[in-house]
Structure 1
Amino acid sequence: MRNDFLYSEISNKIAKLIRNEVLKPGDRLPSVRKLCQEHSISMNTAKRVFLELEGQSLIESKPQSGYFVSRLSYQRLPLPEVSNPSAVSNNKEPDELIRKVYANMGKNDLTLFSIGVPSNELLPLAKLNKEMMHATRELRDSGTGYEQLQGNEKLRRMIAARSLSWGGSLHENDLVTTAGGMNALSFCMMALGKPGDTIAMESPCYPGILQLAASLGLKVLELPTHPTTGIEMEALRKAIPKINLCLLVPNFNTPLGSCMPDEHKKEVVELLSRHNIPLIEDDIYGDLYFGTQRPKCCKSFDKDGTVLWCSSVSKTLAPGYRVGWVAPGKYKDQILKLKLVHAISSSTITQEAVASFLKSGRYENHLRRLRQTLQSNYQHYIQAIAEYFPEGTKTTRPQGGLALWVEFDKKINTSELFDSAMKQQISIAPGRMFTLQNQFENCMRLSIGVPWSEEIRQKLKLLGLLASSML
């Protein structure tokens, strides 16, 4: 544990020096040996620090010369400010805007920068088809029967085994499968909240989560959120007397792509536990890290079962399979009761297919390729933004995930930009979708799950021209 914090502390310190331009593009960094001496760390830990910074595209290695601060042009783009939502819970849903954007899902004639899933070209469709066929042959009744209430045993066993990668120690009996990640979140909110209760979340936040909370009669308290490190801890501390539950996406959340430091995750869990406030953790993007190691989860620090860890394969493997799960801690009985009432069973065949894919080792191979592609996409996208978007544009610098958050001059309304872009067969996600308050009108989320190509470069160039014309 100490080595993990030390490695993270050193890499974060160097990253901050680079982002604050204390270390300039082209500056040479200390050697691996020098870093070992300065911080009294092992050679492996020092190498891990450099690999992490390289994974964030902050540094680059030159053979026989060492490591240097990257000269990539996008580093000139400033970060967006910490969000500043109202301290009063609010429920002003942008329903019409959300309907307009999500009506474009599945349309092949559009460039879908608006939908936060990997394109089909990035998914192992042929291998998944084989697993589906294998499942129909191997399952009793060819998979037409009901699965047990808690879910496919093999799938739960594989998910539990994979929890070791983020510092968890789950057992298959700790898990309940669901029809995708949103279904898991829905069960958690229904189990823990009642109409009139207040739920704290990041701001901005995924619109589906905001709509779900509002539909259940919950008051949403949006918390100030840093574009790199997630929710502001002081804001959460002040909110404690007002809230009944909390939902966070600590690892590469959408739309910011922020990732909470481990020490913040630990503090959040301890703080909420002291006040007996449940934490719903949405870890749907955790496997899509750009560095050398998967980030820990809040569940890693859960000692009394108050963290409900939710995830799925919708953002990594098969969006349409609707295979998700939750480790509900001490709330397991409530979740099982809700699943019995609302679903009876999860999909038998798709659970078995995903379980077999995980067991075969193919999932890890697929994730490695997908992470490399997404990181490359991110670098291409952000360099195009630096070149083609209006002066003063700000962007986040995600260390994983599928989202890139863009902040324009206040004069640019991204809901109007959406309408203009649609005439050019380009779909974006305007920032107003990601809040229940009147904010983020000059922001937008771009999905980096669309593979890079010359056509994509031209679409981003056109988007930049449309934005510039609004100034």
Structure 2
Amino acid sequence: MPDVAVPPSADEQRLYDRVAGHVARLIEQGTLRPGDRIPSVRRMRGQMSVSLSTVTHAYRLLESRGLIEARPKSGYFVRDAAIRVPLPPKASRSNIRPLRVNVARLSRRLQDVLASPEVVKLGAAVPDIELFPTQRLNRLFSQMLRRFPDLGHRYDVPLGYPPLRKEIARRMIDAGAEVAPADIVTTSGASEAVYLALHAALQPGDTVAVESPTYFGILDKLETLGLKAIEVASDPQTGVDVDAIERLAEEKRIQAAVIIANFNNPLGCRMPDAAKRRLVEIMSQHQLPLIEDDIFGELHFDSGVRPNALKAFDRDGIVLYCCSFSKTISPGMRVGWCAPGIYLESFLQAKIALNPAVSIAMQSAVAKYLEIGGFDLHLRRLRRTLQDRARQMAYSVHQHFPEETRATAPQGGQVLWLELPRGFDSVQLFEEAAERNISVAPGVLFSPGDRFRNFVRLNCAIQASDRVEQAIIELGRLAKRQLAT
């Protein structure tokens, strides 16, 4: 005879309802937060003094309610949708008036605050060191120096260490870009790559289209090089308004664009491939350089493949692709690169004038790490950790910040972008927080036009701890006090 499902008895149903209710309360109270692993079936059996089948039934009930999810070989975890999180910020609007950039003073003030070891670094965009493969890199670094004792004491060629450029070219296949090692120039991080790209492709006084908001490090460089900026509307989900850039190009209002297509800093959004392709085609049609900062490209939160770079759609060499290993392997090793396309010679000339050689020892350690494998496994772990921390940060903001606060749901990267009610002053919050050894990045830093004063960027790559939680609680208290006055 075929097996017939036997409905649970009233007693059994009461038992697994009790277990399910216990876990649901832990989630609602915030004891268990998005991404947290809940106790295993065996552990819950012991805690609640019930059978394994009762706990299994309870967990299936919680799954059906959308509160938890099972992950193969890992256990059960609190689902993102199980917790209320803030609504996303509204899309920005374009400002087609060219603006002179003036963010350097406040940017320097933020760096001064971050320099203190006592400060909770919510204003940075850097993960904790414990997330990086430091021990393995240190061993590789030592091995390379023992094998080649002069490696750390001689200049490199301007293009960069050949074995590293070969490994980078292989990695860029995953980003959809076919780039030869001879087309790549290594730099001291992506920051130097972007600076040299701007220097190579533009003249002082030129106007550059930037996303609104955009990373203040880009604005710093525009200011230093005497370039003006036009802010282009950006959506928290799909990124920059390509139609607006097309109009600016047709009207000859811009001489270039600087875009973070994958996980914009601070929005965390990703442009769809169709929009990426169209943007590259527009810039190519008007023979305008397109500088791409893809530093977060490897840090996507979905389970799919790495998103394509703008460079993947570049057929004419107008994209100057900039990236580094600072957010994935080691920020201190300062190993970055640029694939500058048709601007290769002018990029090399600028590099030779500014900083002709990157440390060969550092490049060799990174090259060896990429060669021997393990980087992709490390990336998978890093992505999961960053995604969980972003969820936890959003939940903490929802719990402790003013009720009207909105927050992005980043698709990748390491930051969270908050929108508070109009009239809120993020610079005031920045200064008050600094007095309490807490750093935040005020929204005005991300605009050349003094926009986003009621916005704040938080580092969600920082490790969750009582100190971090108390910092979020204090920031929420300061924000509520400011809005109440």
Say whether the fold is shared (TM-score over 0.5). Answer: yes
Q: Does the CA-based 8 Å contact 2:114-2:439 persist in structure 1? A: no
Written as runs of structure 1 = structure 2, the 5 A alignment for 1:37-52 is none
Q: Does the CA-based 8 Å contact 1:135-1:143 persist in structure 2? A: no
Residue number among 255, 259, 262 corresponding to 1:244 in the alignment:
255
Instruction: Please list the CA deviations of residues 48-79 of structure 1 after superposition, one character each: whole Å capped at 9, or x if unmatched.
Output: xxxxxxxxxx9975699xxx99533344x221
Is 1:452 the equivalent of 2:464? yes
Cα distance change, pair 244–462 in 1 and its aligned pair in 2 (3 A): same
Q: Post-superposition shift, 1:285?
A: 0.5
Is 1:425 the equivalent of 2:437? yes
**Which amino acid in 2 is paired with 1:425?**
N
Is 1:266 the equivalent of 2:253? no
Inter-partner Cα distance in structure 2 for 1:99 and 1:308? 27
Is 1:295 the equivalent of 2:307? yes
Is 1:174 the equivalent of 2:183? yes
Residue of structure 1 equivalent to 2:13: none
SS of 2:411's equivalent in the other structure is coil
Residue of structure 2 equivalent to 1:222: 231
TM-score calculated relative to the size of structure 1: 0.83
Residue of structure 2 equivalent to 1:468: 480
Residue of structure 2 equivalent to 1:13: none
Residue of structure 1 equivalent to 2:414: 402
Residue number among 326, 332, 335 corresponding to 2:338 in the alignment:
326
Residue of structure 1 equivalent to 2:114: 105
Q: Post-superposition shift, 1:140?
A: 6.2
Q: Does the CA-based 8 Å contact 1:85-1:437 persist in structure 2? A: no
Q: Percent identity?
A: 36
Cα distance change, pair 376–69 in 1 and its aligned pair in 2 (3 A): closer
**Which amino acid in 2 is paired with 1:449?**
A
SS of 2:95's equivalent in the other structure is coil
Residue number among 129, 136, 144 corresponding to 1:120 in the alignment:
129
Residue number among 192, 196, 204 corresponding to 1:187 in the alignment:
196
Written as runs of structure 1 = structure 2, the 5 A alignment for 1:14-25 is none
Instruction: Please list the CA deviations of residues 391-414 of structure 1 after superposition, one character each: whole Å capped at 9, or x if unmatched.
Output: 111111111001110010113211
Residue of structure 1 equivalent to 2:40: none
TM-score calculated relative to the size of structure 2: 0.81
Residue of structure 1 equivalent to 2:17: none
Q: Which range moves more in the overlay, 343-352 or 135-144?
A: 135-144
Q: Extract unaligned runs of 5+ from structure 2.
A: 1-65, 73-77
Is 1:131 the equivalent of 2:143? no
What is the CA RMSD across the aligned residues, in angstroms?
A: 2.0
Residue of structure 1 equivalent to 2:349: 337
Instruction: Please list the CA deviations of residues 208-243 of structure 1 after superposition, one character each: whole Å capped at 9, or x if unmatched.
Output: 211111211111111111111111122112211211
Q: Post-superposition shift, 1:85?
A: 4.5
Inter-partner Cα distance in structure 1 for 2:215 and 2:67? 31
Is 1:441 the equivalent of 2:453? yes
Residue of structure 1 equivalent to 2:163: 154
Cα distance change, pair 139–69 in 1 and its aligned pair in 2 (3 A): closer
**Which amino acid in 2 is paired with 1:197?**
D
Residue of structure 1 equivalent to 2:37: none
Q: Larger radius of gyration, structure 1 or 2?
A: 2
Inter-partner Cα distance in structure 2 for 1:363 and 1:436? 37
**Which amino acid in 1 is paired with 2:354?**
H
Residue number among 232, 236, 243 corresponding to 1:234 in the alignment:
243
Residue of structure 2 equivalent to 1:384: 396
**Which amino acid in 2 is paired with 1:211?**
D
Cα distance change, pair 59–82 in 1 and its aligned pair in 2 (3 A): farther
Q: Does the CA-based 8 Å contact 1:85-1:439 persist in structure 2? A: no
Instruction: Please list the CA deviations of residues 186-224 of structure 1 after superposition, one character each: whole Å capped at 9, or x if unmatched.
Output: 111111100111111111111121111121111111111
Inter-partner Cα distance in structure 2 for 1:233 and 1:105? 35
Inter-partner Cα distance in structure 2 for 1:452 and 1:336? 42
